[in-house]
Amino acid sequence: MSALNNYRTEPLSPFYNKVKVRHSNEMYRLLAKHLPSNAKVLEVGPGHGHFANKMREVGLDYDAIEPSDYYRLNLQERKFSVTEEPVPPIKRDNEIYDLVYASMLIENLPSSYEAAEFANEAARVLKPNGVIALIFPNYLTWGRFFFDEHYTHSFETTPRRVAHLLNSQGFEVLQTEHTIGWFWIKGGLFKNILRHLMNISMYIVHTPLVRWMAEYSGFGEIHWKVSKTFFESIVMLARKK
């Protein structure tokens, strides 16, 4: 049995669940213009299933790979098509999907080699002009918290690094959005200013002095949750050439 079979996270609060539902709605709006009306979707690592719910709501053909027994069985009970297998490889036929979707997955792969293999496999299972959508943390602003936030974080993800990876595996990057946590997808002048201000504050929050003060004053857990909630993430869409 793989260690990932036992993987689970703490239950989402009602507020955070609503945030994730809104995030999935915004992701679909961002993706819809790149997809046919009868798109076939593969999600790798669906977790709680917010994006799966959105795909069912809009009537798209949805398939998923989830190594965690906890999440997979929950999704299967809700009648989603979900299989268990390590990724990469992607054990699917060639050129059958219009979208491969992976949220907070690629940073958990052991190295750049597995990350490139995943992108290569995504290109293989995508139809011509198919789209890959990746959501990942920005190591440039997370710094050392990238490793402290989760024990599985191994492949350091930055916008330029992931774009280079995708280009090397036959993709053309269509769109890159910088966001704060799960709170929005599309940027704009106000949101970009807010993002930069939040990133500046996070640099301060992540300094050894602030971490030390939080730990020894009994606010270590609050410090960690603030850092986790207001992180910068990247949404990157790329098309198979």
Residue type for position 12: L
Predicted local distance difference test score (pLDDT) of residue 201: 82
What mean pLDDT comes out for the span 12-35? Answer: 89
Cross-strand bridge partners of residue 100:
42, 132
Cα–Cα distance between 60 and 68 in angstroms, integer? Answer: 24
Helix (H) / strand (E) element for 7: namely: none
Q: What pLDDT, on a 0 to 100 scale, did the predictor assign at position 4?
A: 52
Average pLDDT, the chain: 90
As a whole-number percent, the residues of the chain with pLDDT over 70 amount to 94
Residue type, 225: K
Tokens for 70, please give them: 């906890």
Across the beta sheet with 61-65, the strand order is: 82-83, 61-65, 40-44, 97-103, 126-137, 232-240, 171-180
Q: What is the pTM assigned to this prediction?
A: 0.90
Which H or E run includes 85?
Answer: none
Calpha distance 128→70 (Å, rounded): 34
Other CB atoms closer than 10 Å to residue 110's CB: what's the count? Answer: 10
Q: Where are the beta strands (DSSP E) in the chain?
A: 40-44, 61-65, 82-83, 97-103, 126-137, 171-180, 232-240
Residues 6 or more apart in contact with residue 130 via CB below 8 angstroms: 95, 97, 98, 99, 100, 239, 240
CA 74 to chain centre: 19
**Closest alpha carbon to 138 in 114, 106, 109, 166:** 106
At 196 the pLDDT is 82
Contact assessment for residue 124 and residue 96, using Cβ atoms and an 8 Å cutoff: no
Q: Per the structure block, which two tokens stand in for 232? A: 């910068």
Q: What is the mean pLDDT of residues 55-76?
A: 95
- Whether the per-residue pLDDT at 84 is higher than 60: the answer is yes
Alpha helices for 95-182 (secondary structure H): 112-125, 139-142, 145-149, 159-168
pLDDT score, position 9: 61
Residue 1: its pLDDT value, please? 42
Instruction: Provide the CATH number for the domain formed by 3-186+232-240 in this structure.
Output: 3.40.50.150
Query: Do residues 67 and 84 lie in contact, with contact meaning Cβ atoms separated by under 8 Å?
Result: yes
